[in-house]
A and B are shown apart, each in its own frame.
Chain A
Amino acid sequence: MRKILVVDDNRDNQDILTFRLQLMGGFEILVAYNGKEALEVASRARPDLILMDLRMPVMDGYEATQALRRTEWGKNMPIIAVTVGSTEEHREKALRVGCSDFIAKPIIDYSIIGKKIQELFAASGRAAEVASASSAP
């Protein structure tokens, strides 16, 4: 089962997203409440995808994403930034620090997030295939 890590400092938003993902089915959901926790959980559990809030106490999502990108296991991990407000500044900064995609909260259409997750899984699957093919003797 694919593991998705949901990072959000707001418990209610965390629950909404987790509930929706559980209903989509097929995912094991992990949670973290700030960027630092996200790094701890991610290094232990190696999720297949992260939904990352950007504005959080202790360590924000930008910093956490940058830290993840510096690790060997996290450098290609699909990370979707999920944040309130849809300003282009947020989106641009999120993509600049290494997020794979961006979704604005409140999420109106959950089929979009499902689609984005599937797309990223497909892309990372292909990347893994390429990597294993190129490392094969």
Chain B
Amino acid sequence: MDKPNILVVDDEIGPRESLRVILKPYYNVYAVEKAADAIEMLNLIPVDLVTLDLKMPGLSGTKVLEKIKQHDPDIEAIIITGYGSMDTAVEGLRLGAFDYISKPFDVNHILALVRRALQRRQARVELKNVKSEFLANISHELRTPLSVVIGFVSILLDQLIGQLTDQQQKALERVYKNSGELLELIDNVLTLTSLNAGDLVLNEQSVDAAALVHDCIQRYEKQLQEKGIELSVVSPPGGAPLVGDPAKLGRIVQNLLHNAIKFTPAGKKITVKIANALQQRAVEIEISDTGAGMPELHIDRMFQPFQQMDSSMRRQFSGLGLGLAVARRLTDFVGGSLRIQSRQDIGTHVLLSIPSQPASAAGESATRVH
């Protein structure tokens, strides 16, 4: 394995150079004087551990530690304290530092501490990789057999290997529909699990949100027809261009649509409106249905996974309410907002707002907190 990278941050040349000399035989050591340089260094090299003097001029030491942990929570930090400044050490530990070292330095103590901190980091990184791999495997193992079921049922349904009686056709349509529901459920459970594991990444690119919404609607055409729900779409003539993550956005819209269709009784209407909110630098997607609606009190609860209305409602519309929870969590993840207004027996109005510029380009104000 490569030598771990250690970043020494200290404004005084004495301790900075001592640490460099102590650590150099075993590690790649990068030493910087100013806090701002430390942050810059994090973007240049994959830092495994930082030693940090918390009492530095300029950007305060605790701020730097916060920034480091924001950059990568698995970077270990060791606080360097002057003689008798216990309070800064405690503050550092509170912010997630591994331990602290007091000056003057004890070489063996420092080396042992650094070794232990790096061991903890490695264990954590390995655990994360195992988790991600497990999720990827599970996802593949669950979807593969289901895609076989859907594949063969669609061959039968298209009457490619023989004619079906009406009853056979209807029975297979139910298998097909339920397989589709199971596929969506699996996707949602996996998305939620990845979100909880901190395993989702943003893949931002140029997309037309209007085209994306149209694609999502197409997936539900059959269901809309069957239920006799009229769905109308209003979108800007030039589309709704944005830079964002099309897969996440697609899942959000799909879940919201799925919900709207599910809770709108046969013969009623759904309206989808896509608009460029230029001032807010966002694209807004409104989905209004004339469904059963829900009491305001219940909306917050709907946003929690596995909760859904009361038991009578649950009997009428089965489902886990997972879709909305995933939609909300993903909306947070992409830096957007999701609002739901609903009135019982009148309908539900969902307003999704997605930033049209990537989070990284929007400046400090868009810094996300997970």
List residues of B (153-211) whose CB comes within 8 Å of A's CBs.
Answer: 154-155, 160, 183, 201, 203
Contact: A106 with B151, CB < 8 Å? yes
Q: Are A107 and B203 within 8 A (Cβ)?
A: no
A16 x B152 contact (CB < 8 A): yes
Stretch at the interface among A39-47, A63-71, A86-94: A86-94
User: Does B147 belong to the interface (CB within 8 Å)?
Assistant: yes
Bin chain B's interface residue count.
20 to 34
Flag A5-38 by CB within 8 Å of B: 1 or 0 each: 0000010110011011001000000000000000
- The residue among A86, A107, A108 with the most chain B CB atoms within 10 A of its own CB is A108
CB-contacts of B100-139 with A (<8 A):
139
CB closest chain-A residue, reference B248: A88
Question: Is A12 a contact of B151 with CB atoms below 8 Å?
Answer: yes
Candidates A13, A17, A23, A92; contact of B144 at CB < 8 Å: A13
Instruction: Check if A85 sits within 8 Å of B143, measured CB to CB.
Output: yes
Task: Please give, as numbers and ranges, the residues of chain A lying within 8 Å of B150 by CB-CB distance.
Answer: 106, 108
Report the tally of A-B residue pairs with Cβ distances under 8 A: 49
Dominant secondary structure at the B interface: helix
Asked if A126 lies at the interface with its beta carbon under 8 angstroms from chain B, I say no
Chain A residues lying within 8 Å of B155, measured Cβ to Cβ, are 16, 19-20
Instruction: Answer whether residue B247 sits at the interface, using C-beta atoms and an 8 A cutoff.
Output: yes
Contact between B246 and A84 (Cβ–Cβ < 8 Å)? no
A22 nearest CB across to chain B (Å): 10
Does A116 touch B at the CB level, under 8 Å?
A: no
Is B268 part of the binding interface, using a Cβ–Cβ cutoff of 8 Å?
no
Contact A84 B160 (CB under 8 A): no
Question: In this assembly, does B146 line the interface, its C-beta being within 8 Å of a C-beta of chain A?
Answer: yes
Is B99 an interface position by the 8 A CB rule?
no
On chain B, the residues within 8 Å of A20 by CB distance are 155
Which residue of chain B lies nearest to A12 when distances are taken between CB atoms in the complex?
B148
Q: Which of A79-117 contact B (CB under 8 A)?
A: 84-89, 92, 105-108
Of all chain A residues, the one with the shortest Cβ separation from B219 is A108
Instruction: Report if A55 contacts B (CB, 8 A).
Output: yes
CB distance from B149 to the nearest CB of A (A): 8
| B315 proximal to A (CB < 8 A) | no
In the bound complex, residues from chain B placing their C-beta under 8 Å from that of A89 are: 201, 203
For A84, give its contact among B147, B201, B203 (CB under 8 Å).
B147
**Cβ-closest chain A residue relative to B148:** A12
Supposing A16-B152, A16-B155, A84-B140 touch, asked if A105 and B203 sit within 8 A by C-beta, the answer is: no
Is there an interface contact between B247 and A13, defined as CB atoms closer than 8 Å? no
Query: Which of these, A10, A19, A88, A108, contacts B245 with CB under 8 Å?
Result: A88
Shortest A91–chain B CB gap in Å is 8
Residues of B within 8 A of A10 (CB): 144, 148
Given A13-B151, A16-B155, A108-B219, the answer on whether A85 and B140 have CB atoms closer than 8 Å is: yes
Asked whether B247 lies within 8 Å of A106 as measured between CB atoms, the reply is no
**A107–B247 CB distance below 8 A:** no
Q: Are A105 and B140 in contact (CB under 8 A)?
A: no
Contact yes or no, B203 A23, CB < 8 A: no
Complex contacts, A17 vs chain B, CB 8 Å: 151
Bound state CA distance, A20 and B246, in angstroms? 29
List residues of chain A with CB within 8 A of the CB of B246: 88
Which residue in B151, B154, B183, B203 is a CB contact (below 8 Å) of A88? Answer: B203
CA distance in complex: A41, B198 (Å): 41
- Interface contact A92-B203, CB-CB below 8 Å: yes
Min CB gap A13→B, angstroms? 6
Chain B residues whose C-beta falls within 8 Å of the C-beta of A13 in the assembled complex: 144, 147-148, 151
Can you list the 7 inter-chain pairs with the closest CB atoms, starting with the nearest? A16-B151, A106-B147, A88-B247, A106-B150, A12-B148, A84-B143, A88-B203
28 contacts between A and B (CB under 8 A): A10-B144, A12-B152, A13-B144, A13-B148, A16-B148, A16-B151, A16-B152, A16-B155, A19-B160, A23-B160, A84-B139, A84-B140, A84-B143, A84-B144, A85-B139, A85-B140, A85-B143, A86-B247, A87-B247, A88-B203, A88-B246, A92-B203, A106-B146, A106-B147, A106-B150, A106-B154, A107-B151, A108-B154
Interface contacts beyond A84-B147, A85-B139, A88-B246: sample of 9 additional A-B pairs, CB < 8 Å, sorted by A: A10-B148, A13-B148, A16-B148, A85-B140, A88-B245, A105-B143, A105-B147, A106-B146, A106-B150
**A: which residues have CB within 8 A of B?**
10, 12-13, 16-17, 19-20, 23, 55, 84-89, 92, 105-108
